[in-house]
Each structure stands twice: as structure tokens, then as C-alpha cells.
Amino acid sequence: MDIGFIGLGNMGAHMARRLIEAGHKVIVYDTRQEAIGDLAAKGAVAARSPKEIADMVETVMASLPTPDIVLKVATGSDGVIEGKKVRRFVDLSTTGSVMAQRIFKELGARNIVQIDAPVSGGVIGAEKGTVAVMASGPRGDVEAVEPALKVIGKFFFIGEKSGAGQTMKLCNNVLSAAGMAATSESILMGVKAGLDPRVMLDVINVSSGRSTATEQKFPQVVVPRKFNQGFTAGLMLKDVNLFLSEAKALGLSSSVIEAVAAIFKLTCDELGPDKDMTQIVQPLEKRAGVEIRAPNG
């Protein structure tokens, strides 16, 4: 299959590479020339704009950081919407269902089908092809790109309603965010009381409190003080706020997630939105006067 791929960041570069290695012809674009060069060296064809890609292929995928950027790439000047050949726009980003439905409508007016297919599993999952791919859109069009999406990760068809995949992604991401926030406070309390965080994690991970935060993020990223999970605090706050916005529109109360949003906002305000999401622990450590690290190392 000939596939266009826009957005070659931490996630996108790995997903595009996997498509190339699976034998697909991949035409790539990014605002960073070095990112294009890295993929071109692996066999990708370089393009100069989203429109140029959409002039060359029927299927265009995108992995971009924010809803506004996705909207611009999809429907803006020199965007996918102006392409002569494109039939499907597969959005692997996290935009929320409202934006997905807006893009679906605008592209639909030009006979281009929007498929929202956000992914979850982090940079490691993108590298290994183990991310969850949550696709929604007209079934026939989703089935047409399903083989390529299965190269990227584990495929799930969420439904035909535009934005359904985005809703599923937000429901997942707030659990990840909440797990990180709750684990930070839990482990910090134990450390303040004199416990070894490594022992705490060993116990939790064979008990009822385990999560991806206790199984992977804390032992591999936080306790060794690496803070290199590969997903920024600002992007996580964006996802949490999108969830809160959609929950409010549905008339739901989300007091727990509101508290999680406040902790991520604190991290962004004090450290900056570009810091790793695992650095959520640092403003809390500062206030507690202790750090979550292995004793004597």
C-alpha cells in the first residue's frame, strides 16, 4: 500500500518506520528536515507539504501533538484537504471527539473520509509495534487501512461513529494519568515514613495496587531518576483536559480527574510543559522535602 505519513516525532517516526519495514511505500512530511532525512535514509520518500502527500496517495496518516495542528494539517492551506488523490485521512493523534467530528465533516465535504485512530502505549510501544490502535469511522474505509494499522500495533474497531476512537483514547489516558498521580503520592508518603521505594514497588506489584505506573514508570524511570518516559506533562494535561471537557458536555462529574488535572497543571507551571510526564513527582517531592530514589543511589 502507498501511505502518506505526516508527523515524525517520538511516536510517528517509529510508526512510519514500521510501515516501511513491512514493505509499504511511505511518503513522509514533517516540519523538521532532519526527521524527514532520518526516514528517507530508511526508504521513505520525502514530501514538501501535506498537500503534496495528498496529491500522491489515497491514504494519509498523521501523528501530531495537538488538535489545532491536526486541524491545520488536515483542512488548512496547503493541507490534506487540497490533495488531488487522497481518499482517507487516518488521524493517529489525540484530538478529542469534538475536533475529530469537525475534521470528519470538513473533509467529508471534499469526499475525503476521516478515520480517527489514536494510539496508546508510549514510545516503547510505537517502537515495538505494541501500541493499541483505537479506530473509528465508516467500516469499509477502516477495513481498507486495517492491515496497515495492524503493522503499527494491536488493532481495535471502536465503532462507526466519528470520534468514538478519540473518546476511547481519552478514557484510557486519564487512567494512566490518575495512576501516575496516585502512585506519586502513595510512594512519596512511604518514602517520607522511611520505606525503601524499591521494596514498596515489589510489594505493590504483587498486590492489588499495581498499575503501569508501579510496574514500569516508577521502577524504570522515576526511582533511577531518568525521567525519560517520552511523553510530556503538557501533552498529558491536554488529554486530561479534553476528557474533562467531554465529560462536562455529557453532564458528568469528574472530581477525581479534576484533581489529577490540577497536579499535572502544577507540574507544567513549575517545571514547564515540555518536561517528561513522570516528573509530576518533582513538585510533590519539593513540598514533602524528600525524593523518591533508591537509598544510597
Which residue range forms the structural domain that includes residue 229? 167-288
Domain edge (last residue) among 161, 194, 216: 161
Q: Residue 259 domain-assigned?
A: yes
Of 46, 51, 10, the C-alpha closest to 28 is: 46
Q: Residue 133 domain-assigned?
A: yes
Residue 71 sits in a domain whose CATH number is: 3.40.50.720
- H-state helical runs in the chain: 12-21, 33-40, 50-56, 67-75, 97-108, 122-128, 139-152, 164-192, 197-204, 212, 233-249, 255-271, 281-288
For residues 112 and 132, state if they share a domain: yes
The yes-or-no answer on residue 217 being catalytic is no
For residues 58 and 94, state if they share a domain: yes
Q: 36: which residues sit within 8 A by CB, 6+ positions away?
A: 8, 28, 29, 30, 44, 46
For residues 8 and 149, state if they share a domain: yes
Q: Residue 293 domain-assigned?
A: no
Q: Residue 79 domain-assigned?
A: yes
Q: Residue-wise pLDDT tens for the chain (297 aa)?
A: 999 999 999 999 999 999 999 999 999 999 999 999 999 999 999 999 999 999 999 999 999 999 999 999 999 999 999 999 999 999 999 999 999 999 999 999 999 999 999 999 988 899 999 999 999 999 999 999 999 999 999 999 999 999 999 999 999 999 999 999 999 999 999 999 999 999 999 999 999 999 999 999 999 999 999 999 989 999 999 999 999 999 999 999 999 999 999 999 999 999 999 999 999 999 999 999 999 998 875
Question: Cβ-count burial of 295 within 10 angstroms (0-12 exposed, 13-18 middle, 19+ buried)?
Answer: exposed
What's this model's pTM, rounded to 2 decimal places?
Answer: 0.91
Question: Cβ-count burial of 111 within 10 angstroms (0-12 exposed, 13-18 middle, 19+ buried)?
Answer: exposed
Residue 264 sits in a domain whose CATH number is: 1.10.1040.10
pLDDT of residue 227: 96
Among residues 169, 226, 238, 265, which one is catalytic?
Answer: 169
For residues 7 and 154, state if they share a domain: yes
> Is residue 92 within 8 Å of 61, Cβ to Cβ?
yes
For residues 31 and 138, state if they share a domain: yes
